[in-house]
Amino acid sequence: MKRALFVLVSAVIPASTVAQPAKPDKPAKPADGPVGAPSKAVTDDILDAIAEEMNRAMTQLEIPGAPKPYHIAYKITEVDVNDAAASLGHTTSKRNRHFVNLEARVRVGKPEFDNGNFAVAQAEEIDAVAAINLPLEATPRIARRAAWLVTDSAYKEALMQLRAKIEARRAGGARGVDVPSWTEEKAVVSEEPVLVQPLETLDELEARAKAVSAVFRDQLQVRDSRVAVTSYLERRWYLTTEGTSVTDTRRASGVLIAASGQAADGQALSQYFLRYGHTAKDLPGEDDLKGESKRLMETIGALAKAPVLERYSGPVLFEGEGAVGVIRYSLAPHLGGTPVPEGLNPQEAKTFGGALTDKVGLKVLATNLSIADDPTAKVGAGKALIGGYKIDDEGVAARRVEMIQDGTLKTLLTSRTPSQKGQKSNGHARRTADGGAFHGSATNLFVTGKGGVARAALVQRLTSLARAEGLKYGLIVRRFDDAAITSAPEWSRRELVQMIKTTDQALPPPAILAYRVYPNGKQELVRGAQLAEVPMRAWKDVVGVSKEITTYNFLAAKESQLQLRLTSGADDGFVPSSGIESGVITPDLLLKEIDIVGTSVGERPMPVLAKPIK
């Protein structure tokens, strides 16, 4: 089957802007200047060669006595990344990575029941997906051979997966058999290359990282620090046996400042600043980054002297990045509507969220809140968003989904693996899981609140609420930890083992910037704030929102926070560039009742000698 000749270009729906952008981020700049060239590695010849192999497999690939493939899909990804990292004014590492990856997915059976979304016990790698790298020089012969091998491999895995799924259902582990495995969707064709701005050069990135990291020199309170800068693009092509043939390109630049210190009782303290944009023009300039670095240093110094929070149960104001974090870690995981893979044990199944699965049509949040996810948006509250895409990873066109309106759940984010009969994909297949299926997940998550007030007024409401509850103070959370960024490579094996034993993976990461707020308005920095699991019902008691909106981009990692901590973070200490580009656009949120414990987990012996600075 030749790829179609006509072109479908999906519309870009601008995000709804609400109020004042949060300072000090820069407003999104429209793309200007020359765009880069199309790919030299993945040309029409390459795509035609892969499509020919796909057709051959679809008509001839069969093991006698076993089902044939009924659906084959290819994703070709070309990644080009420039990374630089520096510490104390000197480069610690820099690199360019450029690779092309071909991934094949095969389905056997039929849409009513196929091999998909099933985790084979003790063999989760059998998921009907196989991948191989292609050369950077476009070579159709090699591309076709590569397609031959990965399709064969994925087909054999699909057969093993299907057999295991049939056996598991026979043994009594079956879920409702009325739900099909796979939905029928229209093919999408859009073959014009999407051209983006060229990457910032390694030299430019290196110079920026060095200049900003020098700010941390000779700072007694800082144990370690680094500044990393990235510029990357990711081109994707999708080909399926349904006739889908689409290409899209993602472009992002990012900057990361991370610093750590230690309190007198040994507790490790981490702070970070992370920003992404479409290009470096969307990022803070050098002077602003130096200012952020100074703020991080001052915060670490203040935290080192701050008291540990004692147990708290009461109203909490999640402000700025704090609001982003509570949404990201406590609410977003429940917005997917794809069923948990079959074959997982209950502990593993818990990581999939799913608290809202049976609640469509019901009130799940406070009536002043509405939530939408919009992968077609490039801008949110005036800031660049990196979480957009034209087509999801299953070949379904992206679209804005209004999930929750005035607190009532209308729909969840779905992929082509339905959770009920008649359900269709709404173009949100981005996250993969054991069993090989894509799970509906948020990318550009817009939280809007009615009755927004100025931030200062919301703080006053917090203290009033706290007083009404008989509490001496209220609590503000301004930032959560992110193990993808703050993990230190220097943990000893003993400390890592201790971490595995003491970490409750169901909890959000610790809050690394939190304040007690007293009735007289005084704010006192505290440390060791760890949220308990935020129950879904807590979201019905969002008693205030701000006018100020925070837009925050991040890369959602596949690994859990604990796994990231154990493996020293993401992407070797550079700005994370692997993961799912995501964003949260939200006002500050005042929740009526949240449980927080004060913990000094993370205690390590202090260095014996003083820091060697003049």
Q: How far is the CB of 94 from other proteins (least distance, A)?
A: 19
Q: How far is the CB of 4 from other proteins (least distance, A)?
A: 21
The conformation of residue 121, written as its DSSP 8-state character, comes to T
Q: SS3 letters for 413-442?
A: ECCCCCCCCCCCCCCCEEEECCCCCEEECC
Strands 580-598 and 542-556: antiparallel
**165: its two tokens:** 């799924």
Q: Which is nearer to other proteins, 19 or 160 (CB)?
A: 160
Q: Which is nearer to other proteins, 63 or 121 (CB)?
A: 63
Q: How far is the CB of 69 from other proteins (least distance, A)?
A: 11
Give the CA count within 13 Å in the CB-facing half-sphere of 250: 30
Return d(Cα 599, Cα 512) in angstroms, integer. 11
Q: Which is nearer to other proteins, 61 or 207 (CB)?
A: 61
Return d(Cα 183, Cα 414) in angstroms, integer. 11
Q: Which is nearer to other proteins, 54 or 263 (CB)?
A: 54
Q: Which is nearer to other proteins, 140 or 519 (CB)?
A: 140
Q: Which is nearer to other proteins, 62 or 203 (CB)?
A: 62
Q: How far is the CB of 53 from other proteins (least distance, A)?
A: 6
Q: Which is nearer to other proteins, 133 or 464 (CB)?
A: 133
Q: Which is nearer to other proteins, 99 or 148 (CB)?
A: 148
Return d(Cα 119, Cα 340) in angstroms, integer. 10
Q: How far is the CB of 139 from other proteins (least distance, A)?
A: 5
Q: Which of 400, 380, 502 is nearest to 22 (CA)?
A: 380
Return d(Cα 554, Cα 484) in angstroms, integer. 10
CA distances from 128 to 47, 51, 237, 559 (A): 21, 19, 19, 21
Q: Which is nearer to other proteins, 61 or 211 (CB)?
A: 61
CA distances from 595 to 262, 309, 313, 535 (A): 25, 12, 4, 10
Q: Which of 377, 338, 316 is nearest to 531 (CA)?
A: 316
442 phi/psi in degrees, rounded to 5? -75, 150
Q: How far is the CB of 68 from other proteins (least distance, A)?
A: 10
Q: How far is the CB of 141 from other proteins (least distance, A)?
A: 4
Q: How far is the CB of 152 from other proteins (least distance, A)?
A: 4
Q: How far is the CB of 353 from other proteins (least distance, A)?
A: 36
CA distances from 69 to 119, 156, 242, 429 (A): 19, 10, 12, 21
Q: How far is the CB of 56 from other proteins (least distance, A)?
A: 7
Q: Which of 118, 27, 52 is nearest to 434 (CA)?
A: 118
Q: Which is nearer to other proteins, 489 or 535 (CB)?
A: 489
Q: Which is nearer to other proteins, 78 or 321 (CB)?
A: 78
Give the CA count within 13 Å in the CB-facing half-sphere of 53: 23
Return d(Cα 304, Cα 298) in angstroms, integer. 10
Q: Which is nearer to other proteins, 145 or 400 (CB)?
A: 145
Residues near other proteins (CB under 8 A) are 45, 49, 52-53, 56-57, 60-63, 138-141, 144-145, 147-149, 152, 155-156
Q: How far is the CB of 572 from other proteins (least distance, A)?
A: 14
Q: Which is nearer to other proteins, 89 or 140 (CB)?
A: 140
Strand residues in 121-174 grouped as ranges (E): 129-134
**597: its two tokens:** 């414990």
- What string of DSSP letters covers 556-570? E-SS-HHHHHHTTSS
Q: Number of H helices and number of E strands within the chain?
A: 10, 23
Q: Which is nearer to other proteins, 152 or 541 (CB)?
A: 152
With a CB cutoff of 8 Å and minimum separation 6, the contacts of 589 are 317, 318, 323, 326, 327, 447, 449, 542, 544, 545
Q: How far is the CB of 144 from other proteins (least distance, A)?
A: 5
Q: How far is the CB of 93 from other proteins (least distance, A)?
A: 14
Per DSSP, helices labelled H in 363-403 are: none
Q: How far is the CB of 57 from other proteins (least distance, A)?
A: 7
Are 271 and 259 spatial neighbours (Cβ–Cβ below 8 Å)?
Answer: yes
Return d(Cα 526, Cα 261) in angstroms, integer. 15
